[in-house]
Amino acid sequence: MPQISEKGKIMPASPIRRLVPLADKAKERGIRVYHLNIGQPDIHTPEIAIEAMKTWTGKVVEYTNSVGNASFRKKLAAYYRGVGVDIDETNILVTTGGSEAITFAFMATLDPGDEVITPEPFYANYTSFATICGVTIKTVPSFIENGFALPPVSEFERLITPRTKGIVIVNPGNPTGYLYSREELEQVADIVKRHDLFLYTDEVYREFCYDGLKHFSATRLEGIEENVIMVDSVSKRYSECGARVGMLISRNKEVLSAVTRFCMARLSPPALGQLVAEASLDTPPEYFAAVHHEYVARRDYMVGALNRIPGVVCPMPRGAFYTVVKLPVKDADDFARWLLEEFDDGGETVMVAPASGFYSTPGRGKDEVRVAYVLEISRLKRAIEILGRALDAYPGRIR
């Protein structure tokens, strides 16, 4: 019998999605599952985007330009200039989601065996993207005790080897919700400049910043303009995860040229997704104000409610719509499984993402889960109520 590749064997399952079969079986048994495991907002997509789909009059869904529709890229450039990122459409490549942008960035700049450094916990699928590219991710630990703030830059420097080619930053952070300040990013920029590294900056959650804090884009860092590769997406900003439209932004012409060739190889980004995304750029400010208010309310409720459960530690996220939560359990992976296979409260249960999959250091995150506060308040309240009762009943709870 033919064998699959070594890469196929080591490709990791997503910690966010690997329990989906158990959730599906629970639903087949008639159990209602509250999903706190995945960043799928229940926020409505802007009406202007829905109308663009409804009023589309094309007769053929055609290929688009490999690097994205010109009209879309020009409007994107105007959007970025409006948030302080001084670029034009030639600096933008449209991709099939932010995931493709990250993968293409790695493929265009890294060779098999090269290394990148990132704080952990980190977005779990970076492990998958690195595996696809034959790249090693090295991690600098951050800690729940200080809300997962940027580790000392000396810790990054300690990991640099001749194979180190870049640093990966997600800002605001997934899975932690931490928002890096300009000062923290400037510390990273010093390392990037000193060692001539790439800085891969994932800024998908730019609009989701709270408590009066503002997002500072790494593309605005001085002295490393051609080292920075920014990844973005419409998935979260406009609640359009299914549109599968992302962006890669760089001022480095050599990088853009290489990524363009990868774009050509996969033919084109989604035609209808770009239609929706381009229309979304005209979303009125009132939409974002309402979304911001909603997420702050959800966050504040969630943090307070979780910290009232004995033994639970939930830091206050300053951005995105996630946080990593410490639970009074020996094994959060087993707890997440148990929630779906063995527990229900009145025919309802909760799905969470075990945090061990967001770490690469063995043993870290074993008593943590990532929680996404993407449910409206009444459903979020019920989900956390169920979680508290589950912890009381769980045989592996630390008493």
Q: Binning pLDDT at 50, 70 and 90, where does residue 211 land?
A: very high
Average pLDDT over the chain, rounded to an integer: 96
pLDDT tens-digit map of 335-392: 999 999 999 999 999 999 999 999 999 999 999 999 999 999 999 999 999 999 999 9
C-alpha 291/C-alpha 44 separation (Å) is 9
- Looking at 214, 247, 280, the residue that finishes a domain is 280
- Do 292 and 219 share a domain, yes or no? no
Judge whether 33 and 340 are in contact, CB under 8 Å.
Answer: yes
Question: What is the distance between the alpha carbons of residues 359 and 119, in angstroms, rounded to a whole number?
Answer: 9
Does any domain span residue 89?
Answer: yes
Whether the CB-CB separation of 236 and 39 falls below 8 Å is answered with yes
Both 178 and 262 in one domain: the answer is yes
Q: Examine residue 399 and state whether it is found in any structural domain, yes or no.
A: no
pLDDT at 16: 74
57 and 189 share one domain: yes
Task: Please give the average per-residue pLDDT across 288-307, as a whole number.
Answer: 98
- Residue position matching structure tokens 């928002």: 179
Query: For a pLDDT cut of 90, what percent of the chain falls above it?
Result: 96
Chosen domain end from 280, 305, 322 = 280
Q: Say yes or no: 189 and 53 in one domain.
A: yes
Give how far Cα 102 sits from Cα of 161, 299, 314, 345, 360, Å.
22, 28, 29, 40, 19
Q: Residue 141 burial (CB < 10 Å; 0-12/13-18/19+)?
A: middle
Report if residue 304 sits inside a domain: yes
Residue ranges in the chain assigned as alpha helix (H): 6-10, 20-28, 47-54, 70-82, 97-109, 125-133, 153-159, 182-195, 253-265, 271-280, 285-307, 332-341, 377-393
Q: Are residues 60 and 38 in the same domain?
A: no
Residue for token pair 């800002």: 171
Specify the CATH number for the domain of residue 25. Answer: 3.90.1150.10
Using DSSP's 3-state secondary structure scheme, residue 387 falls into helix
Q: What is the helix (H) or strand (E) element at residue 113, kind and residue range? A: none
61 in the same domain as 183: yes
For residue 398, being part of any structural domain is answered with no
Residue 74 to residue 71: CA distance in whole angstroms: 5
Task: Kindly state the tokens that stand for 225.
Answer: 């303009």
CATH label of the domain that carries residue 272: 3.40.640.10
Whether residues 35 and 64 share a domain: the answer is no
Strand pairing of 198-202 and 164-170?
parallel
What's the pTM value of the predicted model, to 2 decimals?
Answer: 0.96
Q: Which residues of 76-100 are buried (b: 16+ CB within 10 A; e: fewer)?
A: bbebbeeeebebebebbbbbbbbbb
What region, left, alpha or beta, does residue 363 occupy, with left being phi > 0 and alpha being psi -120 to 50 degrees? Answer: left
Q: Both tokens of residue 378?
A: 């009444």
- What lies within 8 Å, CB to CB, of 353 at 6+ separation is 15, 16, 36, 37, 38, 175, 336, 369, 370, 371, 372
Both 146 and 191 in a single domain? yes
Amino acid at 376: E
Residue 138 has pLDDT above 90, yes or no: yes
Distance separating alpha carbons of residues 274 and 270, to the nearest angstrom: 6
217 and 321 co-located in one domain: no
Residues 35 and 93 in one domain: no
Tokens at residue 362, please? 């063995």
Residue whose token pair is 């630390």? 398
Instruction: Supply the range of the domain harboring residue 161.
Output: 49-280
- Same-domain check for residues 267 and 291: no
pLDDT attached to residue 226: 97
Residues sharing a CB contact under 8 Å with residue 379, sequence separation 6 or more, in sequence order: 34
Residue 1 domain-assigned? no
Task: Kindly state whether residues 270 and 355 are assigned to the same domain.
Answer: no
The pLDDT value given to residue 399: 77
39-74 CB burial, b ≥16 within 10 A, e <16: bbbebebbebbeebeeeeeeeeeeebebbbbeebbe
Q: How many domains does the chain have?
A: 2
111-129 in b/e form (b: 16+ CB < 10 A) is eeebbbbbbbbbbbbbbbb
Instruction: Select from 252, 280, 308 the last residue of a domain.
Output: 280
Query: What local confidence, expressed as pLDDT, does residue 14 receive?
Result: 80
Residue 15, pLDDT score = 74
Contact (Cβ atoms closer than 8 angstroms) between residue 107 and residue 86: no
